[in-house]
Structure 1
Amino acid sequence: MKPGLVWGVLVLAVCGLGACGSREEVARVGDTPVLLADVALQQQAGGTPEAALEAVVDRTLLAEAARRDGLLKDPALTARLEAARREVLAHAYVESVGAKASTEEALRQRYAAQKDSLARREVHVAHIVVYVQPQATEAERVAAQARINRVYARLVGGEDFAVVARETSEDAATGSQGGDLGVLREGQVDPRFFAAVAELKPGVPSAPFTTPFGLHVAKALEAPRTVVPSFEEVRGVLAAQARNDAVQERTEQLRKDITVKRYPERLSTGKASGRTEGESR
């Protein structure tokens, strides 16, 4: 028998025995109904519907036992339950607000409005690097500086950049390619590195410069240019911005619409007070 058919028979059997208050109820543990939605959630972890049902029943048995033993009278436990409920609801609401704000149409409108500000410089560049570890001693730093100075001297003396890169660069991945890093876009690499290479004239090696990774000599293989990323390239960024903006705006509106009363004096004393402080509307 197919799993889906087995599941359908199971649901009908349970309901046929009078255990179901509705077609959504697939089991009852004490006074607690187990719904199809409960099983579907459990089944996201994998397994058959039948196995998921048994897993939910087992956990519900334990929860029912906790209720009967009076554990719900424990303020710490009830606080944890309320915190879980609060977080699930808040998360669901944030997702709902964010989804409405990040529709295809809304994102394309945001892209059109921000298109000019999205422009970024990019440059096709090659480099030679001598790595310097953050914990390097002064002697190690002096030795690294001497190595990059010798590299620069060879380049100024007219040697081919790609050849020198293959022989001296400590970046094995790019060194074997003549130091070619490909096209780098502003914001994708260390700001100090990009600032050093973005103003280079094609074919002219830079003087040695420092980044958090070490000492570099670089060469622009093409003239730097300014480009505007396509909508698809920045879609994810635009969606995140739209969702964040919408949630912040909605939160501010909720602060105005829903009365909030704070009792800061109770935080330290734990005692109730008839005094109301920090009330906002």
Structure 2
Amino acid sequence: MKRGLVWGALVLAGCGSVACGSRDEVARVGDTSVSRAEVVLQQQGGGTLETALDAVVDRTLLAEAARREGLLKEPLLAARVEAARREVLAHAYVEALGVKASTEEALRQRYTSQKEALTQREVHVAHIVVYVQPQATERERVEAQARINKVYARVVGGEDFAVVAQEASEDPATGSRGGDLGVVREGQVDPRFFAAVAELKPGAPSAPFATAFGLHVARALEAPRTVVPSFEEVRGVLAAQARHEAVEARMKELRQDITVKRHPERLSAETTSVRSEGESR
């Protein structure tokens, strides 16, 4: 939802801000108070505080006129105002829960407790790829398979893998390096690719295999090893987990603490009524 619409809806919904009658009030438009915070928020789009104040006053004039002329009596507009208020408050509350749940100390404790689960395998690998587009015809797929089979025959026939990669790989970035893809980690590449290379002995080529990107022949340059990602590497994942769990836990508490009464039988009738009123104007 756009910031202007949210702000305008909140003005329509009440006093305009928490500044009603307070020293934070920087303008009053009819019955609506304008706070310094609203002006600072408007200024985030650029300009000076003075121009931001002018802009807020102009929008408040329109909102005040809308209220005086009874626009809030229109069900759809009233619903939009309440939806804006609800979304602003809900978003702010979720953000606050997330901040509280993802402190440095909390994330480091989570990292320590999840170290075993975070363990991943990685392997230094080289590959030769023949690309196959998702929309490729059957003939194009057959031709691609023939090319990768030829590559495989050259490699198992004793030709240097790096030379074949430079000559035949359709990935110019790795092909120029003899196919060297660097270290790939489990969960960060196509699962089919990792499954194929993780079982290779160093120096041994794989048989041709397919991924979403095309057909490959790969070679492990080193033996696979198991690693634990550093805290910084997984910090974002840990923070997302913490925020999600905090919101889910709080939602469970709220469903128990706050009474909710639903009237689903009224939905179709109310929807029809609102639509009819909107169509009649």
TM class by shorter chain equals 0.7 to 0.9
Aligned partner of 1:60 in structure 2 is: 60
Establish whether residue 172 from structure 1 lines up as the match of residue 172 from structure 2.
Answer: yes
SS of residue matched to 1:215: strand
Aligned partner of 1:222 in structure 2 is: 222
Identity %: 81
- TM-score by length of structure 1 reads 0.87
C-alpha displacement at 1:172, in angstroms? 0.9
Counterpart Cα distance in 1 of 2:239 and 2:189: 23
Aligned partner of 1:3 in structure 2 is: none
Offset from partner CA, 1:1-53 (integer Å, 9 cap, x none): xxxxxxxxxxxxxxxxxxx9443111111121111001011011111111111
Counterpart Cα distance in 1 of 2:140 and 2:233: 42
Give matches, 1:58-97, under 5 Å.
58-97=58-97
Establish whether residue 236 from structure 1 lines up as the match of residue 232 from structure 2.
Answer: no
Give matches, 1:78-117, under 5 Å.
78-117=78-117
- In structure 1, list runs of 5 or more residues that go unmatched: 1-19, 272-281
Counterpart Cα distance in 1 of 2:200 and 2:45: 54
Aligned partner of 1:42 in structure 2 is: 42
C-alpha displacement at 1:158, in angstroms? 0.9
Q: Aligned pair count?
A: 252
Offset from partner CA, 1:224-249 (integer Å, 9 cap, x none): 00000111111111011001001000
Counterpart Cα distance in 2 of 1:69 and 1:261: 33
The ranges of structure 1 where at least 4 consecutive aligned residues each deviate by more than 6 angstroms after the TM superposition are none
- In structure 2, list runs of 5 or more residues that go unmatched: 1-19, 272-281
Establish whether residue 192 from structure 1 lines up as the match of residue 192 from structure 2.
Answer: yes
C-alpha displacement at 1:177, in angstroms? 1.0
Establish whether residue 136 from structure 1 lines up as the match of residue 131 from structure 2.
Answer: no
Establish whether residue 147 from structure 1 lines up as the match of residue 186 from structure 2.
Answer: no
C-alpha displacement at 1:62, in angstroms? 0.9
C-alpha displacement at 1:191, in angstroms? 0.4
Counterpart Cα distance in 2 of 1:193 and 1:21: 65
Counterpart Cα distance in 2 of 1:39 and 1:127: 57
Counterpart Cα distance in 2 of 1:112 and 1:152: 44
Corresponding letter in the other structure for 2:136? A
Corresponding letter in the other structure for 1:241? Q
Is 21-30 or 73-82 further displaced after alignment?
A: 21-30
Counterpart Cα distance in 1 of 2:258 and 2:244: 21
Offset from partner CA, 1:260-279 (integer Å, 9 cap, x none): 111111112339xxxxxxxx
SS of residue matched to 1:128: strand
Aligned partner of 2:161 in structure 1 is: 161
Aligned partner of 2:10 in structure 1 is: none
Counterpart Cα distance in 2 of 1:269 and 1:68: 29
Q: Whose Rg is larger?
A: 1
Counterpart Cα distance in 1 of 2:177 and 2:109: 42
Offset from partner CA, 1:193-237 (integer Å, 9 cap, x none): 110011111111111001111110000111100000111111111
Residues 250, 195 of structure 1: CA spacing in aligned structure 2 closer, same or farther, 3 A cutoff?
Answer: same
Give matches, 1:2-21, under 5 Å.
21=21
Counterpart Cα distance in 2 of 1:51 and 1:265: 50
Counterpart Cα distance in 1 of 2:135 and 2:240: 37
SS of residue matched to 2:261: strand
C-alpha displacement at 1:161, in angstroms? 0.8
C-alpha displacement at 1:56, in angstroms? 0.6
